[in-house]
Every structure is written in C-alpha cells, then in structure tokens.
Amino acid sequence: MMRPSHDDKRLYVTNSVLSTLDDDPEFGPRNEDYGIYLLDVDTAEGGLTHATEDGSAWTDFTAVQKANGTGPAGPHMILFDPSVPIEVGHH
C-alpha cells in the first residue's frame, strides 16, 4: 500500500498486502521484515529518497506485541491525517 502525505511531500509505503494473504501458504510467506517506509518526494526532480539513511523501514513491524505473543504484523492501511476524508472503497 502507498499513501502520499496531505502536502504531497512524503510517500508512505508498506510491504504488506493483508495478513491473511501474507501468511497464506499458497502465496507466502511474502516477507519477514514488515514495516512502513517513508520516502521524501522531490517534485522538482521527480525523484524519491528514503527518509532513513540505509533504506530500512521507518517504522518496524517485525516484533509487534499481540494478544497471543510477539511477532511480525503486516501494516496495510495507512492514513495519518484525520482531516483527510476516506470514502467508501478508498484505501
């Protein structure tokens, strides 16, 4: 999933589809290092730059505390600005 910031200066990207698909034996496991990646958008040059120096996840989801233990979680929906309305079917 990808989501631009409200001011279009940043792009948030996750490397998860949905937990049920990520863990499906027919399709997965797709990934072991889940996270949200933050990219800075250079509108003048049309390029993207990782916000972290080494290109690693901006927010790491590999060791999330869950009801049944600790383990990876697949971030999917990203919306950080409550002033941006979400319409039915929009994600």
pLDDT digits (tens, 9 = 90+) for 46-60: 789 998 999 888 888
Please indicate, yes or no, if residue 81 is contained in any of the structural domains: no
Task: Indicate whether 38 pLDDT > 80.
Answer: yes
Please indicate, yes or no, if residue 26 is contained in any of the structural domains: yes
> Which band of pLDDT confidence, cut at 50, 70 and 90, is reported for residue 82?
low
Domain residues for the domain of 49 are 2-71
Please indicate, yes or no, if residue 59 is contained in any of the structural domains: yes
Mean pLDDT calculated for residue range 20-27: 69
Which pLDDT does position 40 carry in this prediction? 92
Mean pLDDT calculated for residue range 24-51: 79
The number of distinct structural domains making up the chain is: 1
Spatial separation of the C-alpha atoms in residues 86 and 61, rounded to whole Å:
24
Please indicate, yes or no, if residue 87 is contained in any of the structural domains: no
Measure the N-to-C terminal CA separation of the chain; round to a whole number of Å.
Answer: 8
